[in-house]
Structures are given as structure tokens and as C-alpha cells.
């Protein structure tokens, strides 16, 4: 048997100390039951917290003030700005800046840089091929200094010539090449064709351009404009699916507005200007044919516009005698004019008739922003980056 042993319990260990969480003001005590004053921070802690509360309050006030200022500014912008007739577009004048003007590279790069359209100049060679070239003669751009009339030069010879612009050599592209290049680039940018012709050769150019569009089965964005009213009429008749416009750069003061009868939206005078070329031919058989025809055209019989009593003036006003006449009009989808020519009367008259106005040539963002506030629907320039920035800022303010 074993001897009896006395069981002695092990000595009790001390309770482990429980660490208490600490905060900004030291140990946080659980005095919720006792209800003591230890839950309140010390006087020193309250003094330390005071500046932080003041700074936070100041920040809140600044944020609220900035929000209110922004809201007021946005409201003021929307109240004073004239809304465009459609979302503003950016048009690269002769393609992207830095590239040779009207070159394939300039046209494609315009789309890469964010332009909605590239404005290109189209004229005919001697053998009737539409090429993309601005000047009537080659002298300004020919590297060899050859000064030839494009209309008197066959395509084969023109294509052999080396042109130089912006320190780069290039060759004159045909419209067919441009259409193919834009298609390969995914349809961007759209094309604004400036039809370089007078009334005498309008039919031939319009037919050649239209044939190229049909042959390419082109379905990208496209608009066409001209200074020739005849070219505008013919292009619209042949291609009703594409918008047509008047290039009024330098001649904005020759635009004559019809009186709108019956309100907007399909009413007489809506979406139109007076077709002065056809109006000048109108002879009213009342014994004073020459005088009435001149009045109808807005001319004094010697080609001087806006000088006769009763003439429809550029600000859109007219006399009762003129309102009684039925004048031939020219339907337009847009007008392009120089920004400095766009006074309030012109913009108001175009807006009342539902005709968007595109302003060129614009280079500074501040100028672009000012034109957008006045209601233009498009900006045309060589440097499109500031124009795109102005449009983005404008839209953000309108939507805000």
C-alpha cells in the first residue's frame, strides 16, 4: 500500500492584467455603471481639441461656400448662354495642325486628335477628277515652285508633283483616296467638303463629287458647303441625305434673310436664306419689272445689296413692301462664317430660322468659349485641342 499523501493545491496565480484601449485622451474607462465623471476628457484635452474643431468647422464652411458659388455660377451660365441648335462640333480646318494641309495624314490625324469633322477643299483637275487641294494654283505649295492652274492640269501630272507644307513633303490626294482612308480609319473624322467652284462649273464638280460618293458607297459623316449657291442647290438635289451649307466666310454681310411667315417648323422662311442669284432673275410683270426684280433680289440693279428701300436687311428686318413679295429661297442646313463677322443680328436671324452657325477660324480656347456662349453650334480651326476643351467645358457647365 502506498503511504497517504496530503494533496496540496498549487498556489494561485495572479490574474493577468487586462490592457485597456487608449484613445486621444488616454485610457478609456468603462464607467458606464458607476456614472463617474472620468468619462469626460480632462481640461487639457479639451483645450487641445478646440483648434481641431475650429479647423473642421472652417473647412465645412469653405466647402459649403464653394458649392454655393459653383451652383450660382452654373445657373448664371445657363441663364446667360444661348443654347446651340445641336451639340457643338469641332471641325479641323484642312485637317490636323502640324501635318501638310489637305493631306491624307492630316485628315486621318484630325480624327485621332478628337475632331468631329475635317474640312477639306475639293476641286477638279483638267480631266475632271475631284482632288483635295485648296488653292486654284499650285505655286504656294509646289516644292519645285511650279505655278499651275489645277483646273488646267491633268491628274497624272498633278500627282507627280511634290508639294511641301509644314516642313513635310506630300502628294495631292484624290477625293477617292480620302474616302478610302477615312473608311479604313473607322469612319472618323467626318468630312466637310468645301466645293471650290463658281456657278459656271458647279454642275460638273457636283456631278463628279457625287459619283465618287456613290462609287465608294460612303456611309460616314459628311457635309458639303460652297460659296456658289448653284452648287449648294445641285448638291442637295443629288444628295438629299447629306447636310448642305453656305460658306459665308468673308461674305457674311451678303446673306439676306427671308421673313418668317407662320412661325418656325416648316413655315415659309424657316431654314432658308434668300437665294439672291435666282431672286435677281425674277421679273414681276407690273410695268416696273426692273425695279421690282432689283427689290426682290435685294440689289439696286447694279449689284449693290441692301441699299434699296424695302430690302430685307442682314439683321432680318424688312418693310411691308418686301414682305408682300414671294422671293426664291435657298434651303440650308448650316452656315460657316468667320467668328469676327458674327454679330448678334446675324446669329439671332440664323437661330430664328433654325440654321446652325459654325464659326471659323478659331484658335484660342477663350474665343471658342465666347462663341459657344453666343450660340454657335460648331467651331472650325487648325488647332482643335483648345476647341475641344472649350466644348467640353461648355457641356459640363450646361449639364451641371
Decide: residue 271, CB within 10 A, 0-12 exposed, 13-18 middle, 19+ buried: middle
45: Cβ–Cβ under 8 A, 6 or more apart, which residues?
24, 25, 26
The CATH number of the domain holding residue 187 is: 3.20.20.190
305 in a domain, yes or no? no
189 upstream amide cis, omega within 30 of 0: yes
pLDDT reported for residue 320: 43
- Closest among 193, 198, 204, 197 to 243, alpha carbons compared: 193
pLDDT reported for residue 332: 96
pLDDT reported for residue 258: 86
- Closest among 89, 133, 85 to 111, alpha carbons compared: 89
Per-residue pLDDT of the chain (400 residues; tens, 9 = 90+): 444 444 555 555 455 444 444 444 344 444 444 444 455 556 555 555 667 777 777 777 777 766 665 555 455 445 568 989 999 999 999 999 999 999 999 999 999 999 999 999 999 999 999 999 999 999 999 999 999 999 999 999 999 999 999 999 999 999 999 999 999 999 999 999 999 999 999 999 999 999 999 999 999 999 999 999 999 999 999 999 999 999 999 999 889 998 765 544 444 556 999 987 777 665 443 344 444 444 444 444 444 434 333 333 444 444 444 443 457 889 999 999 999 999 999 999 999 999 999 999 999 999 999 999 999 999 999 999 999 999 999 999 886 5
pLDDT reported for residue 270: 67
Domain count, the chain: 1
pLDDT reported for residue 60: 76
pLDDT reported for residue 1: 47
142 in a domain, yes or no? yes
43 in a domain, yes or no? no
316: Cβ–Cβ under 8 A, 6 or more apart, which residues?
257, 259, 345, 348, 349, 352
CA separation for the pair 109, 51 (Å, rounded): 57
pLDDT reported for residue 80: 61
pLDDT reported for residue 261: 57
303 in a domain, yes or no? no
78 in a domain, yes or no? no
CA separation for the pair 169, 142 (Å, rounded): 9
Domain that holds residue 393: 89-275+328-399
Whether this model's pTM surpasses 0.85: no
126 in a domain, yes or no? yes
135 in a domain, yes or no? yes
269: left (phi over 0), alpha (psi -120 to 50) or beta: left
pLDDT reported for residue 175: 99
55 in a domain, yes or no? no
CA separation for the pair 397, 85 (Å, rounded): 17
The dihedrals phi and psi of 21, each to the nearest 5 degrees, come to -65, 150
Amino acid at each position: 500500500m502506498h503511504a497517504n499523501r496530503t494533496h496540496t493545491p498549487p498556489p494561485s496565480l495572479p490574474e493577468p492584467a487586462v490592457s485597456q484601449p487608449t484613445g486621444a485622451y488616454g485610457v478609456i474607462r468603462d464607467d458606464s455603471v458607476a456614472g463617474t465623471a472620468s468619462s469626460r476628457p480632462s481640461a487639457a484635452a479639451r483645450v487641445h481639441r478646440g483648434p481641431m474643431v475650429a479647423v473642421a468647422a472652417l473647412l465645412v464652411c469653405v466647402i459649403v461656400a464653394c458649392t454655393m458659388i459653383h451652383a450660382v455660377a452654373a445657373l448664371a451660365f445657363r441663364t446667360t448662354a444661348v443654347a446651340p441648335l445641336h451639340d457643338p462640333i469641332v471641325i479641323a480646318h484642312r485637317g490636323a495642325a502640324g501635318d501638310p494641309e489637305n493631306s491624307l495624314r492630316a485628315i486621318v490625324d484630325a480624327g485621332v486628335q478628337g475632331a468631329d469633322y475635317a474640312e477639306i477643299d475639293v476641286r477638279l483637275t483638267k480631266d475632271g477628277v475631284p482632288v483635295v487641294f485648296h488653292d486654284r494654283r499650285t505655286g504656294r505649295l509646289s516644292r519645285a515652285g511650279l505655278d499651275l492652274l489645277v483646273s488646267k492640269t491633268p491628274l497624272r501630272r498633278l500627282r507627280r508633283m511634290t508639294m511641301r507644307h509644314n516642313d513635310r513633303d506630300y502628294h495631292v490626294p484624290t477625293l477617292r483616296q480620302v474616302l478610302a482612308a477615312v473608311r479604313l480609319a473607322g469612319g472618323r473624322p467626318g468630312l466637310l467638303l468645301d466645293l471650290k467652284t463658281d456657278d459656271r462649273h458647279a454642275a460638273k464638280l457636283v456631278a463628279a463629287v457625287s459619283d465618287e460618293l456613290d462609287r465608294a458607297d460612303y456611309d460616314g459623316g459628311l457635309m458639303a458647303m460652297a460659296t456658289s449657291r448653284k452648287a449648294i442647290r445641285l448638291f442637295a438635289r443629288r444628295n438629299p441625305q447629306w447636310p448642305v451649307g453656305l460658306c459665308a466666310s468673308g461674305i457674311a454681310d451678303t446673306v439676306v434673310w427671308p421673313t418668317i411667315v407662320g412661325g418656325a417648323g416648316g413655315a415659309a422662311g424657316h431654314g432658308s436664306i434668300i437665294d439672291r442669284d435666282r431672286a435677281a432673275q425674277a421679273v414681276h410683270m407690273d410695268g416696273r419689272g426692273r425695279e421690282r426684280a432689283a427689290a426682290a433680289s435685294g440689289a439696286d440693279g447694279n449689284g449693290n445689296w441692301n441699299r434699296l428701300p424695302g430690302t430685307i436687311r442682314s439683321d432680318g428686318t424688312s418693310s411691308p413692301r418686301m414682305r408682300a413679295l414671294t422671293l426664291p429661297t435657298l434651303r440650308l442646313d448650316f452656315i460657316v462664317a468667320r467668328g469676327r463677322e458674327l454679330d448678334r443680328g446675324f446669329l439671332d436671324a440664323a437661330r430664328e430660322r433654325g440654321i446652325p452657325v459654325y464659326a471659323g477660324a478659331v484658335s484660342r480656347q477663350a474665343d471658342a468659349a465666347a462663341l459657344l456662349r453666343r450660340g454657335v453650334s460648331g467651331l472650325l480651326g487648325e488647332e482643335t485641342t483648345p476647341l475641344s476643351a472649350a466644348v467640353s467645358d461648355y457641356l459640363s457647365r450646361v449639364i451641371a
